[in-house]
Amino acid sequence: MSRVRPGWLVALCAAIVVVSAWLPWLTADGARASAVGGVVGDMDDLRNRLSGFGVGQLIVLLAATLIVAGAMAARGLSARVASSAALAISVLLVVLTVFYYRLYVYTPVSAGYGLCIAGVVAIAAALLSVWAMVAAWSAASARTT
């Protein structure tokens, strides 16, 4: 009987977070801004704050790392370490998404659908990482007995 490999679901969630980074994370009066710093419309004050390497780019970088950790856990390549790293990275993604919200969403600026998608999927990745970790550690203990 083959065992369940939830690491692939973690990698899928991380890929969705990466793709959602190019969707509108911030909106204000017809203007939109993505997590990677692209601004369309009249958001000059936000354009200056989003320039350079910031929280949005770090979220994309960590999500790409989560893809690798999830795939390693699913393939069984250092599954215990990879699933533990996936849990740590996914929790960090949730924290950074909340920090992004607290940093950039204020009265004239509201959260866009990209930020909502990334937040929900990051929470799902954290829960799936727990499942991947339990599966990896239980499979390792079953092999030793």
Query: What does each of the 145 residues of the chain score in pLDDT, given as a tens digit?
Result: 466 689 999 999 999 999 999 999 999 888 899 999 888 888 777 777 777 888 999 999 999 999 999 999 999 899 899 999 999 999 999 999 999 999 999 888 899 999 999 999 999 999 999 999 998 888 766 677 6
Cβ atoms 25, 100 nearer than 8 A: yes
pLDDT at 42: 84
Q: Does some domain include residue 111?
A: yes
DSSP string for residues in 57-90: HHHHHHHHHHHHHHHHHHHTTTHHHHHHHHHHHH
Angle at 39 between CA 36 and CA 44, to 5 degrees: 125
pLDDT at 1: 42
Task: Give the domain extent around 104.
Answer: 7-144
Q: Does some domain include residue 20?
A: yes
Q: Does some domain include residue 2?
A: no
Q: Does some domain include residue 70?
A: yes
Query: Which strands sit side by side in the sheet containing 39-40, from one edge to the other?
Result: 39-40, 31-34, 24-28, 110-111
Cα-Cα-Cα-Cα dihedral sign, residues 115, 119, 121, 126: positive
Cβ atoms 61, 72 nearer than 8 A: no
- 3-class secondary structure, 120: helix
Domain count, the chain: 1
Token pair in block for residue 110: 């509201």
CA gap 85, 71 in Å, rounded: 12
pLDDT at 108: 85
Q: Does some domain include residue 109?
A: yes
Q: Does some domain include residue 124?
A: yes
pLDDT at 24: 94
Q: Does some domain include residue 136?
A: yes
Q: Does some domain include residue 1?
A: no
